[in-house]
Each structure stands twice: as structure tokens, then as C-alpha cells.
Amino acid sequence: MENIKLIVTDMDGTFLNSSHEVSPEFPKIYEELKKRNILFVPASGRQMLGITKYFGEIENEMAFIAENGGYVIYKNEELFADQLDQKYVAEIITVIRTIPGATAVLSGKKKAYFETDNQDFIDYISQFYTDNERREDLTEAIDDSIFKIAVYHADGSELNVYPFLKEFEKYDLEIVVSGQYWLDIMNKNINKGNALEKLQKVLNITPQQTMAFGDYMNDIQMLENSKYSYAMKNAHPSVKKAANFEACSNDNFGVLKIIKDYLKIS
């Protein structure tokens, strides 16, 4: 493993532990990456503000892939921003309302939007969607660029949400299980892998110079666009199949253990 120029990592279940915390070792490791001209890139299904809040003053030095690839920035400059067609939003929200236990969030450039008045849910999603707003009716157009529809189900998204929404693949939309409790709906070809490819082209970095980490199905294309691809020990079986290597779990901060081994630092 030589000449790594870019390290890209999923956040929840991968870089962050189960309490959604960054390892206290990260600042020291980041400084070493910076000395060696290695770009560190968080890539998440989260809203951009829900990612950048973890990185403080170094945010303006980094690149970020948010909204599962729908929004990409580098050194505070927007490289790519997608937008869902409102007609799809209205139709899909109508179906989500019929799914028992499902709750929808529209993720936009300005804010995230939801209909529920369940305060426990609102408190929960505020970890991921820092700037959010309740709306009476999500089928009505919002003056914002909507990147995706995120659907939450407390009993699991793969079995309890995906079967109801997979029909929307007929519209050339991406319907992806993005976590144990979440499913995301985006435009076709919006994924972390294509976003990573856009960033690699801008920076003239190859997949052979890229290290990537992930744990769920929305990370697979990103892993496929990296020679040094790692599934976390806690990853979904399909992710482990797609990755070339395995890292220890997110609760053991496996991402940083691999990076430290590469940098040969303790």
C-alpha cells in the first residue's frame, strides 16, 4: 500500500462510534495526514451541516460528500449539487404515509423537513439533520433544493420500508437501504461512488491512490471506486463482500487503526 492521496469514510457505523462520537485521537492523526498531503473526506447520507459540525476549524481544508453523494464540497466550494423532481417527492410521500411505522424526512440544501410532531423522533434526527423544520404537508413544494427523501423505520428499513418503495425504481430513482433503520431515495446515479469519482477527477487522484471505509449498502459504490476498500467488522454482509479488506468495528475506531497502521504511527 503506497502513495495514498485520499481517504474517504462513511460516518455513522464507520468513523463514528455507536454514541456518534469522533475518536479523541483524530486531531493528531489528521495533522499527520495533512503533513503528508493526504485528503480526508467524510462521506455520509447526512445533511452537510450534520457532517461538518464534527470538524470545527479544519472544515475549510477538507472535502465532504453529503446526502449519499447528492452534495459535494471541497474547501468550502460547491463541486456538485443534485435536486429531486417535485412530482416524485409528492408521489413518494403519499406512499410513505401508508407504510405503518414509517416517517419521512426531506433533505434539502437549506434544511431538512418533516411532518411528524413526535418530539422523540425530532430529537433523534437532529443528530443527523442539524437544521430542520416541521411542515404540515411535505407533498407541497418547498423553496429549497431537495437532495433526497430519507425514510426511517424503528423495526428496520430493509424489510419494513424497501418492499413498499422499490416500485419507484421504475422512475430511474435510486432506492437504497442506507442503514439499519434508514432508506434513501435519490435520483439515478446519485451515490457516494459517483461523488467520489467526481472528486477524484477534480483532484487528479486515482482509485489506486484511494482508501475507503464503509458499513452499509449505500457505501458499496464508494468502496468499488477505491483499491484499498475496507468494510467494518460490524458491516452488512453485502458490504463485506464488496470490500477488499476488513477493519475492526466502529466502536473500536477501526478506521483510525487502519490509518495509523498505514502512517506507521502509534
Query: How far is Cα of residue 259 from the mean position of the Cα atoms in its chain?
Result: 20
DSSP 11-77: IIIIIS-TTS---TTHHHHHHHHHHTT-EEEEB-SS-HHHHHTTTGGGGGGSEEEEGGGTEEEETTE
78 closest CA partner among 121, 48, 99, 117: 48
Q: Average pLDDT, stretch 221-233? A: 97
Cell, residue 153: 423505520
Single-letter amino acid, residue 56 = G
User: Looking at the chain, how many residues does it have?
Assistant: 266
Q: What is the pTM of this model?
A: 0.88
**Could you read off the pLDDT of 44-98 as tens digits, one per residue?**
999 998 999 999 999 999 999 999 999 999 999 999 999 999 999 999 999 999 9
Residue 78 burial class via C-beta count within 10 angstroms: exposed 0-12, middle 13-18, buried 19 and up: exposed
Q: Please report which confidence band the pLDDT of residue 197 belongs to, taking 50, 70 and 90 as the band edges.
A: very high
**Which CATH number is 86-187 given?**
3.30.1240.10
Q: What is the pLDDT of residue 216?
A: 95
Residue 238 burial class via C-beta count within 10 angstroms: exposed 0-12, middle 13-18, buried 19 and up: middle
**Could you read off the pLDDT of 149-178 as tens digits, one per residue?**
999 999 999 999 999 999 999 998 999 999
Q: Where are the domains of the chain?
A: 6-81+190-263, 86-187
Could you say which architecture CATH assigns to the domain 6-81+190-263? 3-Layer(aba) Sandwich (3.40)
